[in-house]
């Protein structure tokens, strides 16, 4: 049986962790929907359903909250990608790339906030754009370019378009699901398994066909 001292220490730590998690999740939603400039710390606290002042207490100012929330979102996709990669060790390079494409589609379906946030921040150059590029996107781009180069001689100026077709095509449908579902009278959610699988297959077919145009000899 644990001592009362240990038990009493764990409860406040658990509450602190829970509050921080609620604040970051709320911040991701607010920033992805409203944008950085239109979002206030109070908006985040209201969405998280926590007392006024707790966001400042745990994270400081709005810039620090944005950095923590954005880092959390990119950590989640990195962890998801790494988890999926563990089952890909014995696959061919082509199969690994196909898995990466399908994994991104699946993550985007469950986390549309990622693409919404990127659309908010990608419109203008700012310290936030630089933060995302330098801390998250550059390394991911480097890994993806290396993987693609093992099966295709696609030149850099064409890969540039291929990359954004991958990102936009893989995520945009799910970040605009309210519009898409109304336009096509779809009753299911964006996380519908058949929708995710079908979209993943289409993305793989389209992206791979472009790489095959520059197939290595």
**Number of residues that this document lists for the chain:** 217
Token readout for 107 is 């993550």
Across all residues in the chain, what is the average pLDDT?
Answer: 91
Where are any strands of DSSP class E within the chain? Answer: none
The domain ranges of the chain are: 91-212
pLDDT in tens, 18-28: 999 999 999 99
3-state secondary structure of 152: strand
Instruction: Between 46 and 2, name the one with better pLDDT.
Output: 46
What does the alpha-carbon distance between residue 170 and residue 73 come to, in Å, rounded to a whole number?
Answer: 17
Q: Look at residue 15 in the predicted model and tell me its pLDDT.
A: 73
What does the alpha-carbon distance between residue 22 and residue 92 come to, in Å, rounded to a whole number?
Answer: 40
Name the band, by pLDDT with cuts 50, 70 and 90, for residue 89.
confident
pLDDT in tens, 111-139: 999 999 999 999 999 999 999 999 999 99
3-state secondary structure of 89: coil
pLDDT in tens, 182-211: 999 999 999 999 999 999 999 999 999 999
């Amino acid at each position: 049986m644990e001592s009362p001292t240990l038990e009493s220490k764990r409860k406040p730590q658990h509450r602190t962790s829970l509050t921080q998690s609620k604040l970051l999740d709320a911040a991701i939603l607010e920033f992805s929907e409203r944008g950085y400039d239109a979002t206030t710390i109070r908006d985040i606290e209201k969405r998280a359903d926590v007392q006024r002042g707790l966001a400042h207490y745990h994270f400081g100012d709005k810039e620090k909250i944005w950095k923590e929330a954005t880092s959390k979102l990119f950590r989640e996709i990195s962890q998801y990608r790494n988890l999926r990669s563990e089952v890909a060790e014995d696959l061919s390079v082509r199969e690994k790339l196909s898995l990466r494409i399908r994994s991104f589609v699946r993550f985007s379906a469950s986390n549309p906030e990622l693409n919404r946030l990127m659309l908010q921040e990608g419109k203008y150059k700012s310290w936030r754009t630089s933060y995302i590029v330098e801390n998250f996107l550059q390394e991911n781009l480097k890994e993806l370019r290396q993987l693609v180069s093992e099966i295709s001689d696609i030149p850099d100026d064409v890969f540039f378009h291929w990359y954004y077709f991958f990102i936009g095509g893989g995520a945009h449908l799910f970040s605009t699901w309210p519009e898409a579902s109304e336009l096509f009278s779809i009753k299911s959610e964006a996380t519908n398994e058949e929708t995710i699988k079908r979209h993943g297959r289409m993305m793989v077919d389209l992206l791979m066909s472009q790489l095959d145009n520059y197939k290595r000899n």
